[in-house]
Copies of this chain bind each other. A is one copy, B any other.
């Protein structure tokens, strides 16, 4: 039985400092759980932070070379040098904890192969859903189930922006500025607002759920930068829909449908009241039915809560020398899952056409839709047609249709001289 477990932290920013804070504050309590003490032995950070304990270095290789250190905690984010340091740590016999969704999504196969080869563990609870223990739930607590569906609000920044656009009726740019001011969006928010961050997290959840590596390239991704307050409010006021950026995956006989896109959900959907920086994940298993998890998806202490829970779990195993006897992630390395191209998926859609106000537009548009198999459930005129020289917005809700047919129809419609700008479309999720 090892009496003291030593950590090497790479990156001592917000989350790293949160980890140190929790380890300090809940020390006796955590050590009781582990049955051993746990200590930050060294930190790699160029900013040379002040530390309670341990040394500071500028090269992560020094931590990996330190024979005292049992667990490397990677908190720098991004693809490199995160990937190299995780692989080097595993090859040097260290166990690894990471909060880095990007590196996991991109190098899942390489990382878990290396972990498996070295009989070491990679824990990553903080990579998805902040403090919500959804990684463990999917990997262990719901392990009996064939997972049928995963759906999630996985990015706090975009959820904050969409909440502000809805509640304050402000446009995307103003909401983004507000999010940046409130500390919920970074100076360069591209990964968040374009849905890449959500896709990273979704790739991790899918790879866990189906024991196959689901790559970023497998996911159809669209972000929220083109969502207008106009559509959000019209969909809300007319139909009671709420706009959310959803990461969704559904397994059927055809394969896995997996996408990130802004969607409309009904006001009674369990996600409808998940607002601001909160995250939620809904998982459907063949035995358990629907299970939902909800909590803060971002922030220093929620993320650090997940990292420290991983530390406790790993430290317990290191203490009794069982770490790595079982892989944490078990999957079929060589097998791939069949991905259903988005064109072949089915769904209901909200469409808004910007048309020049001329007689016959509606009949032309609906003729094209009909020929492409897009059947319309209802039609709404947003602005008065008659006597107006301005264009008209026509909103349609479709029945359940094939997405490929819709795309084909919209290509034709958007090429019509009477159509002023690209038709807006949002998937409606139930």
Given contacts A22-B144, A141-B136, A144-B304, contact A32 B309 (CB under 8 A): no
Bound Cα distance from A210 to B295, whole angstroms: 21
Which B residues are CB-close (under 8 A) to A133? 136-137, 140-142, 291
B contact residues around A287 at 8 Å (CB): 18, 22, 26, 131, 301-302, 304-305, 308
Residues of chain B lying within 8 A (CB to CB) of residue A25: 146, 286
Q: Are B144 and A308 touching (Cβ within 8 A)?
A: yes
Q: Across the interface, which residues of B come within 8 angstroms of A326, CB to CB?
A: 35, 316-317, 319-320, 322
**Those of A293-325 within 8 Å (CB) of chain B:** 293-296, 299, 301-302, 304-309, 311-313, 316-317, 319-320, 322, 325
Q: Is the CB of B322 within 8 A of A301?
A: no
Once the chains bind, are B292 and A32 in contact (CB under 8 Å)? no
Q: Contact: A137 with B136, CB < 8 Å?
A: yes
Bound CA span A298–B311, Å: 33
Q: Which residues, 253 to 292 on A, are CB-close (under 8 Å) to B? A: 268, 270, 273, 285-292
Q: Which chain B residues border A305 with CB–CB below 8 Å? A: 142, 144-145, 285, 287-288
Copies of chain A in the complex: 2
- Distance in angstroms between the alpha carbons of A6 and B35 in the assembled complex: 30
**Complex Cα gap A22–B141 (Å):** 15
Chain B's closest residue to A322 (CB) is B322
Which partner residue on chain B sits nearest A299 by CB separation? B289
Chain B nearest CB from A316 CB (Å) reads: 5
| CB of A332 within 8 Å of the partner chain | yes
In the complex, what residues of B have CB within 8 A of residue A22's CB? 144, 287
Chain B residues within an 8 Å CB radius of A292? 292-295
Nearest CB in chain B to that of A134: its residue: B141
Closest to A131 in B: B288
Instruction: Tell me if A233 counts as interface (CB < 8 A to partner B).
Output: no
Do the beta carbons of B140 and A136 come within 8 Å of each other?
Answer: yes
Minimum CB–CB distance from A268 to chain B (whole Å) comes to: 7
Q: How near does chain B come to A28, taking the closest CB pair, in angstroms?
A: 10
Q: How far does the Cβ of A2 sit from chain B's closest Cβ, in whole Å?
A: 12
Query: Which listed residue, B141, B273, B288, B290, touches A137 by the CB 8 Å rule?
Result: B141
Do residues B140 and A330 form an inter-chain contact, with CB atoms below 8 A?
no
- For A280, the closest partner residue in chain B by CB is B292
Contact across chains for B26 and A140 when beta carbons are under 8 A apart: no
Question: What is the CB-to-nearest-CB distance from A218 to chain B, in angstroms, rounded to a whole number?
Answer: 20
Question: Is A377 engaged at the interface, CB distance under 8 Å to the other chain?
Answer: no
Do A295 and B302 touch across chains, with their CB atoms under 8 A apart? no
Residues of the B chain whose Cβ atoms lie less than 8 Å from the Cβ of A132: 288, 291
Which residues of A come within 8 Å of B, CB atoms? 18, 22, 25-26, 29-30, 32-33, 35, 125, 130-133, 136-137, 140-146, 211, 268, 270, 273, 285-296, 299, 301-302, 304-309, 311-313, 316-317, 319-320, 322, 325-326, 330, 332
